[in-house]
Amino acid sequence: MDNFIQISKLNDFIFCPKSIYYHAIYESFSEDNYHSHYQTTGKLHHENIDNVKYSSALRYIQGMTVYSDRLNLVGKIDIYDQKEKSLIERKYKIKTIFDGYKYQLYSQFFCLKEMGYVINKLYFHSLSDNKRYQVTLPTQIEYDQLLSLCQKIQNYKIEGKSEEVSNNKCQQCIYSLLCN
C-alpha cells in the first residue's frame, strides 16, 4: 500500500497541491506547531469516530479502513449505516460543500463498493449545527474525474510549474510562510 493515496489528501491537493508536500514535512512534528484552530477543532470532534464511540448500535460501522485497488486509494470512513445502506461523512461545520469534500465522499463510496458493500445514500453531516446534506450518488463521470485527480496526485512534482492557487487560499493556508 506504499503507492496508495490517502483519501484525506484529496481535499488537500485540490486546495493546493503543495500543501501535501508541506504536510509531509511537518508530520513528524507535534500538530500543535502547525495545525490551525479549525483543524484542531475538527480533529477533536472526529475522536468519537476514531474511537468507535459514535454509537453502540451494531447497524453502524465506524472508522473502518477502506481501500480501492482500481483507484489506488486508502482511508477511513466515518459512518456506514448498514440498515439504511448510507455513507455519512462528518465535518465540524459545513458552510459550503467543496469539490474536495465530494471527492473524499465519492472515494469512500467507490472503496466500499469495491469491497462489496451496497450504498444507496450519501450524506455530509455538519456537527456544529446538526444539519445533514444528502449528496447524489456518483456517476461514471465523477468516477472518471476522481481517477484523473488520483493520477494528477501520483504524477505531481513540486519543482514543476504549480497550478494557480488563489490569494484567498494562500492567506488561509497554514503553510503560507513556507511557500513562495
Helix (H) / strand (E) containing 155:
helix 140-155
What is the Cα 100 distance to its own chain's centre? 7
Flag residues of the chain having pLDDT under 50.
34-35, 39, 42
The CA-based angle 128-175-2, given to 5 degrees, is 90
CATH of the domain at 158: 3.90.320.10
pLDDT in tens, 4-18: 999 988 988 888 888
pLDDT, position 52: 57
What is the number of structural domains in the chain?
Answer: 1
**Is 177 inside any structural domain?**
no
Does 101 reside within a domain? yes
Provide the domain limits for residue 141.
5-172
109: nearest Cα among 68, 70, 51, 152 = 68
Q: Is 59 helix (H, G, I), strand (E, B) or coil?
A: coil
- Residue 180 domain-assigned (yes or no): no
pLDDT at 79: 95
Q: What is the pTM of this model?
A: 0.81
Cβ atoms of 78 and 51 within 8 Å: the answer is no
Indicate whether 179 belongs to any domain: no
